[in-house]
Amino acid sequence: MCIKGKLTGKNMSGKVKLHYFNGRGRMETIRWLLAGAGVEFEEYFFETREELIKLQQSGVLLFQQVPLVEIDGMKMVQTRAILNYIAAKHNLYGKDLKERVLIDMYVEATMDLNDLIMRHPMQPPEGREKNLALIVDKATNRYFPAYEKVLKDHGQDYLVGNQFSRADVQVLETILMMEEMKPDILAKFPLLQGFKARISNIPTIKKFLQPGSQRKSKIEEKMVPQVMKIFYG
Amino acid sequence: MLQGTHTPGVLRKVFGGTHRNLKRGSMSGKPKLTYFNGRGRMESIRWLLAAAGVEFEEDFLETREQYLKLIQDGHLLFDQVPLVEIDGMKMVQTKAILSYIAGKHNLYGKGLKERAFIDTYVEGTTDLMQMILTLPFSPPEAKKKNLPLIIEKAKNRYFPAYEKALKQHGQGFLVGNQLSWADVHLLEAILMVEEKEPTVLSEFPLLQGFKTRISNMPTIKKFLQPGSQRKPQPDDKYVATVMKILKEG
């Protein structure tokens, strides 16, 4: 559901509200986690730089940046802070400090890889092929082997603590984005293939993966200059 | 779950194994930090351990061979440092390590909402320090251009937010009226920016008071003294060593 409207003082519906542009960017992981946790949310999309500036001038953005998520009476900024809050609130952050640190290690790595993926369309055309090769290399030789081994070593269905956590959601998100860049990226990772199928079939995730959900599509190349203009002028 | 004498593969990478890892592990039981001999991404971890009053050992990477051996021996989950060996685990990923230390040593607030505030503040100081951290590794023209931009962001984006936070509750610490990771991280950031621009706090009286107060806390005061494990600003030699070890350009 997209509501284009003003940022009101109070969130009267109590629903979680996301403020961002109508695309993936840094908000997508938050959408995934909310969806995975079965939490409904509304979205406000800004489409011009003027709208972002207005948001900045309203004083609601602690560091003048989005994502902004209104949740539980707070106007939260900073992607990691938001993700940590949602995960902890919805029992997706492990049972103790040691499980938590494993989850953190795994998701920090997905965020490193997501960052590369997110910046890829911003590369000048001449550099794109090389950049793609770099990303594929990192996924294939650094990140995915680590997750494959985790699954191999404990033989469990989920990455941490034998229960569904944010690590599973975030790794699935990254796998799917990598597959968009290279469809056979999981060719050497049979356990990750099984993991992908399994996590995709979890009811909340399955729903999010269906057309018509709030999951955003990969940005179209022709839209990139427009999006850059919103953020950088 | 993760017990037993045999922990194969990646779990060994994180939780240590049998005799092979004892050689690497800390014999004293203190956390052991593996990184280059300089600030980089490890510095915030040094600060937090010091603030928590936790003694630690350090192993400095000086050659590419050392780094490659670490990888070959399976100590680095994602082939990257920082690496911190602590409580029987081989931790990587700076944020994961910092969150663990904060959680363990009561520097992460009381409850979800305080935690959210701490996380938000720490992300801001991370972004600011990240800009300074990468500066020595950028080409000279970029360095010249970027330093004023960093100072501008410190003065117009980040420091006003923390000044306002202190003003709003009038307390001595950023969150929950007690020392937290957020305070330690902010002090580190303030000092780092002041090294580049000594007058940067001139318009932030509450931050000036904050800086003095937090600097005077016993564990932090100790860390700020010469001879501590705090590292100096990076120089050309440090940059060259890091580039050589990571084979980046």
Do A114 and A144 sit in the same domain of this protein?
Answer: yes
Domain span at residue B68? Answer: 30-105+226-239
Least CA distance to B117: which residue of chain A? Answer: A81
Per-residue pLDDT averaged across B59-73, rounded? 97
Assess whether pLDDT exceeds 80 at residue B215. yes
Query: Is residue B42 assigned to a domain?
Result: yes
Q: A116 with A142: CB under 8 angstroms?
A: no
Q: Which two tokens stand for residue B205?
A: 């009286």
Instruction: Check which CATH number belongs to the domain holding B59 and give it.
Output: 3.40.30.10
Cα(B58)–Cα(B34) distance, rounded to whole angstroms? 6
pLDDT (0 to 100) of residue B9: 57
Question: Would you write out chain A's pLDDT as a tens digit for each of its 233 residues?
Answer: 343 444 445 555 679 999 999 999 999 999 999 999 999 999 999 999 999 999 999 999 999 999 999 999 999 999 999 999 999 999 999 999 999 999 999 999 999 999 999 999 999 999 999 999 999 999 999 999 999 999 999 999 999 999 999 999 999 999 999 999 999 999 999 999 999 999 999 999 999 999 999 999 999 888 999 999 999 88
Cα(A167)–Cα(B40) distance, rounded to whole angstroms? 26
Interchain contact A74–B (C-beta under 8 A): yes
Asked whether the CA dihedral B160, B164, B170, B174 is positive or negative, the reply is negative
Residues of chain A with Cβ-Cβ distance to B105 below 8 Å are none
Assess whether pLDDT exceeds 90 at residue B152. yes
| Closest approach of B227 to chain A, Cα-based (Å) | 31
| Closest approach of B15 to chain A, Cα-based (Å) | 10
| Closest approach of B101 to chain A, Cα-based (Å) | 9
Do A118 and A138 sit in the same domain of this protein?
Answer: yes
Do B35 and B68 sit in the same domain of this protein?
Answer: yes
| Closest approach of B100 to chain A, Cα-based (Å) | 6
pTM of structure: 0.93
Q: Is A18 helix (H, G, I), strand (E, B) or coil?
A: strand
**Total residues belonging to chain A:** 233
Matching residue, tokens 């420091």:
B159
Cα(B221)–Cα(B146) distance, rounded to whole angstroms? 31
Q: Which two tokens stand for residue A23?
A: 């695309």
Whether the bond into A211 is cis, omega within 30 of 0? no
Interchain contact A81–B (C-beta under 8 A): yes
Check if the interface score ipTM surpasses 0.90.
yes
Q: Are strands A68-71 and A16-20 parallel, antiparallel or unpaired?
A: antiparallel
Do B95 and B129 sit in the same domain of this protein?
Answer: no
Q: B181 with B222: CB under 8 angstroms?
A: no
Assess whether pLDDT exceeds 60 at residue B8. no
Asked whether the CA dihedral B14, B16, B20, B22 is positive or negative, the reply is positive
Assess whether pLDDT exceeds 90 at residue B132. yes
Q: Which two tokens stand for residue B141?
A: 């023209």
Do B55 and B126 sit in the same domain of this protein?
Answer: no
Q: Output the CA angle B12-B17-B22, nearest 5 degrees.
A: 130
Instruction: Check which CATH number belongs to the domain holding A191 and give it.
Output: 1.20.1050.10
Q: B160 with B119: CB under 8 angstroms?
A: no
Least CA distance to B7: which residue of chain A? Answer: A153
**Alpha-helical segments (H) within chain A:** 28-36, 49-57, 79-89, 97-119, 125-138, 144-154, 166-181, 190-200, 203-208, 224-232
C-alpha closest to that of A30 among A9, A48, A50, A16: A16
Instruction: Check which CATH number belongs to the domain holding A34 and give it.
Output: 3.40.30.10
Interface with A, mutate which of B3, B13, B14 (most A CBs under 10 A): B14
pLDDT (0 to 100) of residue B23: 45
Domain span at residue A12? Answer: 2-90+210-232
**Alpha-helical segments (H) within chain B:** 9-15, 19-24, 43-51, 64-72, 94-104, 112-134, 140-153, 159-169, 181-196, 205-215, 218-223, 236-246
Interchain contact B76–A (C-beta under 8 A): no
Interchain contact A181–B (C-beta under 8 A): no
To the nearest whole number, what is the mean pLDDT of chain B? 92
Give residue-wise pLDDT tens across range B9-52.
Answer: 566 567 654 444 444 556 678 999 999 999 999 999 999 999 99
pLDDT (0 to 100) of residue A106: 98
Do B73 and B96 sit in the same domain of this protein?
Answer: yes
List the end-to-end C-alpha distance of chain B, in Å, as a whole number: 43
pLDDT (0 to 100) of residue A14: 78
